[in-house]
Amino acid sequence: LTQKLLARTTPELEAIGAKVVESYKTGGLIFLQGELGAGKTTLVRGALQSLGITKPVKSPTYTIVETYNIANLTIQHFDLYRISNMEELELIGFRDYLTGYSLIFIEWPEIVQNFLPKANCKIKIDYHPEGREIIIYA
Ligand SMILES: Nc1ncnc2c1ncn2[C@@H]1O[C@H](COP(=O)(O)OP(=O)(O)OP(=O)(O)O)[C@@H](O)[C@H]1O
Ligand SMILES: [Mg+2]
């Protein structure tokens, strides 16, 4: 199932994140692709806020991963931009994050794509003259 959407504003992009995550409230693996500044973190922020996360959703650019907890769900938000190979990912215990029932968002999955499990949902964000174009492969 492929869906193409246009987000003219940041709040519209956040709303798309909220909509997408409705299907993954019990867990899932979600990949986000798109250039620097395309809006991957913005979409995740919308998703997490819609789930009731009240702490600020920061970009995991420097920390590689940010973790959030709500009722029955552990949520991990990865940004692999600074990772250059699978060994580096293993060092931060990446495998452990993939076990159990978690909702996992991964920005820049293409960097270690061949080592990752198949995603439940892939989201691609592109610059568009009127904002951002979002393509969702579920
Ligand atoms: N539809 C839109 N129109 C204009 N600006 C937008 C739109 N959606 C998001 N933005 C802005 O674009 C920026 C996107 O930044 P964001 O950190 O989400 O990108 P990113 O894809 O996660 O980048 P990185 O690869 O560096 O992590 C934000 O400043 C946001 O406000
Ligand atoms: Mg980001």
Q: Which residues line ligand 1 (CB under 6 A)?
A: 7-10, 12-13, 34, 36-42, 59, 61, 79, 81, 107, 131-132
Ligand 1 atom nearest the C-alpha of 13 is 8
Residues 5-62: pLDDT tens digits? 999 999 999 999 999 999 999 999 999 999 999 999 999 999 999 999 999 999 999 9
**And the tokens for 86?**
């699978």
According to the model, what pLDDT value does residue 16 have? 98
The angle at the Cα of 75, spanning 74 to 79, to the nearest 5 degrees, equals 145
Task: Decide the pairing of beta strands 131-137 and 121-128.
Answer: antiparallel
According to the model, what pLDDT value does residue 93 have? 87
| pTM, 2 dp | 0.96
According to the model, what pLDDT value does residue 20 have? 98
Residues 64-99: pLDDT tens digits? 999 999 988 999 999 999 999 989 999 988 888 887
CA of 71 from ligand 1 middle (Å) equals 29
Nearest CA residue ID for atom 9, ligand 1: 10
CA of 96 from ligand 2 middle (Å) equals 22
